[in-house]
């Protein structure tokens, strides 16, 4: 069997695991369910083990299936790296960079960095998945992302930090908000107004909750959301104040009627924004080059 045939089988098994169903996986792979089921049965016969438990609600990987999926994802990632390396040697400069990242970077920093990178490397395309910090780490483990960028992540033995930049929280508000004209902003100032807070799935909420627990301040929370876009759109139309880390807040810029100011309370503390990869994984060349661009941008944003 050729290497490409093996990769095709890897894709089949990965699709079944992701969809939990032969039928749904077959639809995404553009083959018939019966053909996909035959491929699975043939592979299970070759391996001498069942890869999936079949039950009324779908299909779930067995212990053998989990081992096969890990192997398949590693092999597929290695093949993509090899293809990128060969393309680089041939001067094609083609490839794909896959990234899992915190929402904080989606508003301004990420689009700007990718745009500048593609101006110099037009043959490189991107797959960017925006998710919570736990999902960023899992995407690295599942070989669904070359790079992960996450705020306030817990240390993990299988994830290797490439860069950490301490981040402060900033207040986000309408451009014509009364606080927008202050030279120095304290949390006490913000709490004179209604608050729109990120929920517990977003890293900045931990900083806020810790600060409120230590202080005598009583926040008036009128909105919680797991979407920074939702929070920004909300504060644009009223006097509420929201919060975001500085790398995603577009400090000193007014965009779409929203601005952001750094909060000067020392008691608020900081947490790191981490650029990471799976420990021991050899990154494709496009991902390595883009990681350097991210380092430059994040180090500049942290100053």
pLDDT for the residue 229: 87
User: What are the tens digits of pLDDT across the range 196-231?
Assistant: 999 887 877 888 888 888 887 788 999 999 888 899
For the chain, give the mean pLDDT: 84
Among 101-105, 186-190, 242-246, 250-254, where is mean pLDDT lowest?
250-254
Dist CA 279 CA 296 (whole Å):
22
Query: What is the pLDDT at residue 178?
Result: 93
pTM comes to 0.65
At 30, the pLDDT band (50, 70, 90 cuts) reads confident
- pLDDT for residue 182: 86
- Tell me the pLDDT tens digit for each residue of 156-167: 888 899 988 888
Q: Is the pLDDT of residue 57 over 60?
A: yes
């Amino acid at each position: 069997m050729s290497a490409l045939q093996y990769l095709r089988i890897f894709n089949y098994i990965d699709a079944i695991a992701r969809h939990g169903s032969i039928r749904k996986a077959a639809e995404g792979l553009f083959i018939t369910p019966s053909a996909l089921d035959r491929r699975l049965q043939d592979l299970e016969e070759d391996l001498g083990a069942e890869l999936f438990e079949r039950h009324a609600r779908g299909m779930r990987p067995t212990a053998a299936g989990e081992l096969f999926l890990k192997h398949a994802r590693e092999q597929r990632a290695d093949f993509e790296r090899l293809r990128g390396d060969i393309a680089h040697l041939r001067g094609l400069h083609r490839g794909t960079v896959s990234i899992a990242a915190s929402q904080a970077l989606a508003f301004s920093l990420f689009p700007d960095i990718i745009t500048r990178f593609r101006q110099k490397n037009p043959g490189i395309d991107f797959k960017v998945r925006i998710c919570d910090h736990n999902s960023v780490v899992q995407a690295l483990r599942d070989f669904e992302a070359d790079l992960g960028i996450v705020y306030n992540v817990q240390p993990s033995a299988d994830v290797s930090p490439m860069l950490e930049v301490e981040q402060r929280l900033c207040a986000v508000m309408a451009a014509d908000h009364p606080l927008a004209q202050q030279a120095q902003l304290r949390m006490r100032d913000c709490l004179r107004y209604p608050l729109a807070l990120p929920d517990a799935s977003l890293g900045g909420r931990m900083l806020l909750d810790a600060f409120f627990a230590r202080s005598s301040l009583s926040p008036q929370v009128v909105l919680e959301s797991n979407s920074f876009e939702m929070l920004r759109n909300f504060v644009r139309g009223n006097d509420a104040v929201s919060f975001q880390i500085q790398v995603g807040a577009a400090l000193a810029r007014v965009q779409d009627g929203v601005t952001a100011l750094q909060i000067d309370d020392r008691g608020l503390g900081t947490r790191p924004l981490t650029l990471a990869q799976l420990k021991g994984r050899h990154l494709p060349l496009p991902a390595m080059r883009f990681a350097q661009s991210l380092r430059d941008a994040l180090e500049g944003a942290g100053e």
